[in-house]
């Protein structure tokens, strides 16, 4: 069992010359490290480009379905001039005769207030 500084710091006392030599790197190490990083990035980019080219080739080789044209549901026809010639009851009821000129803002009879009843006679002396 070790005693002293080796018991606390088995890899060496921080700040000591031996520790500094172990952690210190020279310029050649960092140049090699940067070159390795760049090479790894270039390989990754090449692999990505190859995968993209393969994907595009597979897409080009895949048979395409012909585009389906949208079919028109029905042809439109103008409504007949006579309302009674329309066979669809809902449409026929919707197409009511136009109101008379100037009558578009009149209130229909069903929406008129009820007529006023004759006033109740009040005996003389109670009016008031």
Tell me what pLDDT residue 124 has.
85
DSSP calls for the chain: ---THHHH-TT--TTSHHHHHHH---HHHHHHHHHHHHHHHHHHHHHHHHHHHHHHHHHHHSPPPPPPPPPPS----PPPSSGGG---HHHHHHSPPPPPTT-TTSPPGGGSPPPPPPPPP--TT---
Render each residue's pLDDT in the chain as its tens digit; 128 residues.
567 777 777 777 777 666 565 556 778 888 899 999 999 999 999 999 999 999 999 998 888 888 888 877 777 778 777 777 888 887 877 777 666 666 666 777 788 888 887 888 888 888 76
Residue spans of the domains in the chain: they are 5-58
Tell me what pLDDT residue 11 has.
73
| Predicted TM-score (pTM) above 0.75 | no
């Amino acid at each position: 069992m070790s005693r002293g500084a080796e018991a606390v710091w088995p890899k060496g006392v921080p700040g000591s010359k031996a520790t500094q030599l172990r952690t210190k790197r020279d310029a050649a190490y960092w140049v090699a490290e940067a070159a390795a990083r760049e090479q790894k990035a270039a390989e990754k980019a090449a692999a990505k480009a190859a995968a993209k080219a393969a994907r595009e080739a597979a897409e080009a080789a895949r048979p395409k379905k012909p585009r389906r044209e949208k079919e028109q549901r029905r042809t439109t026809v103008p409504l007949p001039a006579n309302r009674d010639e329309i066979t669809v009851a809902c449409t026929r009821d919707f197409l009511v005769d136009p109101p008379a000129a100037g009558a578009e803002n009149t209130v229909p009879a069903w929406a008129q207030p009820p007529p006023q009843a004759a006033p109740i006679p009040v005996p003389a002396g109670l009016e008031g």
